[in-house]
Amino acid sequence: MLTRACRLSPCSHPLRRNLTNASLFSQQLNFRFTMPTSKPQPDAHSKVLILGAGNFGSCLAEHLGDSEHRVFLWAREADLVKHFNLHHKNLKYLPEHNFSKNITAVGPDLPDGDFINEMDVLLFAIPTQFLRANLTILNRSLKDKTKLPLLIFVNKGIEIGTDALTLEIIADTCGAGVAKAATFISGPSFAKEIVRRRPTSVSVASFTEGEAVKTSDLFHQPHFRCYTGTDPIGIELSGALKNVYAIAAGMSDGLGYENNTRAMIITRGLAEMTCIGTAYGASPLTFLGLAGVGDLFLTCSSSSSRNYTVGYRLGQGESLQTIISTLGSVAEGVSTAKGVKRIIDKLGVHAPIAAEVYEVLYNDKETKRAVRDLMDLPASRELDLPPTAGEPARQLMEKLGLSSG
């Protein structure tokens, strides 16, 4: 078993390491900041508020409710709150599951400041496109920024219109200190398998490594392992990007292509993800972890994935509008494909699979034509990481006060 001493490594963001080695900013970045931390380590009887009672929020409520913690689950649907508290069931998401009696549903309004300030942990399981509005309201309750609850985010997407990662949404709405303390969980973790206690592992990252360790300690269970790190930008990009490639893999299967084609999409998708991440300013190694290749493999190869399902149904000839209106759950890759397209265009990264997914979703390109165009690309070297120095990450870290000239 890993000891705490073994899991902790000196806190240094990979951007700093990359830049120190080779890049444009090697002489410029000089980290001089004090990392914020949350209230003391959540103990065995912590108060946890989970925001978002969809598949993943409910699943994580169950994961933490299966303990001595006092878990509250915020749902914006009044009927869900009422039914959950009476029957310990969430009929809309994970309807088969009997939830722990340690969980109390709250809502439909967001809890008030007094309630929020009593919490030791706030866990956000709200789809990316709705996060900004909810954080704007919640920020009014986070009065004392020196005594923050442990803040955990599990959404996997890029915001439409701003191309912002969640780190930036948090900084915009709650301030840089809150973003620096935030922790991100990402990795191959279907909600319905976690509630069945199938062995699962995830990546947990924060700029404040102590917060990632607290999160890991909170979540770690015999059937659930956490691996900590200090590349939240890479972890976020991994989770967001893999959803776009899951759409591509589903599309391929929906068109009737077989295993070779799916393996090609997964592998070339990983190469694209790594190039986009490197150009953005994340560590390329992050994409080899659970949040990267782990989640990419999972979602590209299973019909349990909503993103894969969107792709599959597109490949079968259904329209995007019909698929979205009948999916019954969020597929973050659909909205994220827009931000990814803008990011690759801006950074000049060659990411043809992501570009073709965008064309199918938003320019009515036929799925078969997209495959033909990909296969017609000229032969190229297998992998050349872009030499760029990570301007988006540099700007984001500047916003967080994590760089100084």
Is 242 known to be catalytic?
A: yes
Counting residues that bind ligand 13P (by CB under 6 A) gives 13
Backbone angles phi, psi at 265, to 5 degrees: -65, -40
Residues 6+ apart with CB under 8 A from 283: 14, 15, 17, 18, 231, 234, 277
Minimum CB separation of residue 238 from ligand NAI in Å reads 12
Counting residues that bind ligand NAI (by CB under 6 A) gives 25
- From 83-91, 112-120, 152-160, 370-378, give the range in contact with ligand NAI by CB under 6 A: 152-160
Does 331 belong to an annotated binding site?
no
Cα-based angle 76, 82, 87 (whole degrees, multiple of 5)? 125
Counting contacts by CB under 6 A, is residue 122 touching ligand NAI?
no
Counting contacts by CB under 6 A, is residue 189 touching ligand 13P?
yes
Q: Which residue is nearest to ligand NAI (CB)?
A: 54
Give the Cβ contact number of residue 276 at 10 Å: 24
Counting contacts by CB under 6 A, is residue 292 touching ligand NAI?
no
Minimum CB separation of residue 122 from ligand 13P in Å reads 21
Letters for 79-108 (x = contact with ligand NAI by CB under 6 A, - = none) are: --------------x---------------
Residues 6+ apart with CB under 8 A from 52: 74, 75, 124, 125, 126, 127
Choice between 42 and 54, CB closer to ligand 13P: 54
In whole angstroms, what separates CA 264 from the centre of its chain?
A: 24
Catalytic-labelled residue, pool 92, 180, 214, 242: 242
Instruction: Map tokens 């999160």 to a residue.
Output: 215
Order of strands across the sheet that contains 224-229: 103-106, 70-74, 47-51, 121-124, 150-153, 183-186, 200-206, 224-229
Output Rg (C-alpha) for the chain, integer angstroms. Answer: 21
Query: How far is 166 from 125, CA to CA, in rounded Å?
Result: 12
Site for ligand NAI in 318-347 (CB under 6 A): 329-330, 332
Applying CB under 6 A, which residues contact ligand NAI? 52-57, 76-77, 93, 125-128, 130, 134, 154-157, 189-191, 329-330, 332
* Annotated binding-site residue numbers for substrate: 156, 306-307
Provide the annotated active-site residues.
242
* Annotated binding-site residue numbers for NAD(+): 52-57, 130, 191, 306
